Amino acid sequence: MMRAGADGAEVKISIEGMMCDGCSSRIEKVLKGMESVKNVNVSLEGKVATIQLAKEAAGSPEAVAAAAALVDTINSIGFDAKLSQ
């Protein structure tokens, strides 16, 4: 799910395969290192990452590309991620 707001776009990504706080922390660390990301909150219990995109990546085409890159990045480190509905 992607929502646009005054501070930029927010992306919610469902993540399967997280087993512990170490998993959620690893995902947060990797995503925070991405240029398009302003803030990240990963919920182990909710199996979801809520990501606030940097303003530069919050425009409609840029946000779609950034969301796809976030999903690909999470998948590349061993989890099963997809945009939340």
Q: Which residues contact 83 (CB under 8 A, 6 or more apart)?
A: 1, 2, 11, 12, 13, 14, 67, 71
Q: What is the pTM of this model?
A: 0.88
pLDDT for the residue 43: 97
Q: What is the pLDDT along the chain (85 residues), one digit of tens a residue?
A: 666 655 678 999 999 999 999 999 999 999 999 999 999 999 999 999 999 998 777 677 888 899 999 999 999 999 999 998 7
What are the distances in angstroms from CA 19 to CA 7, 45, 50, 84? 32, 10, 18, 19
| Sequence-distant (≥ 6) Cβ neighbours of residue 8 within 8 angstroms | 38, 52, 53, 54, 55, 57, 58
The predicted pLDDT at position 7 comes to 64
In the chain, where the domains are located? 2-83
Q: Which CATH architecture has domain 2-83?
A: 2-Layer Sandwich (3.30)
Beta bridge partners, 3, equal: 10
